[in-house]
A = this chain, B = another copy of it.
Amino acid sequence: MKARVTVTLKNGVLDPQGKAIANALGSLGIEGVSDVRQGKFIEVELNETDPARARAALERMCKELLANPVIENYRYELGDA
Contacts and interface: CB of A to CB of B under 8 A. Distances in A.
Nearest to A53: B32
Interface of A: 6-8, 18, 21, 24-25, 28, 30, 32-48, 57, 60-61, 64-66
Contacts of A47: 32-34
A40 B43 contact: no
A65 B40 CA distance: 16
19 contacts: A6-B41, A8-B41, A24-B65, A25-B65, A28-B61, A28-B65, A30-B57, A30-B61, A32-B47, A32-B48, A33-B47, A33-B61, A34-B47, A36-B42, A37-B42, A37-B43, A39-B42, A40-B40, A40-B41
A45 B30 CA distance: 12
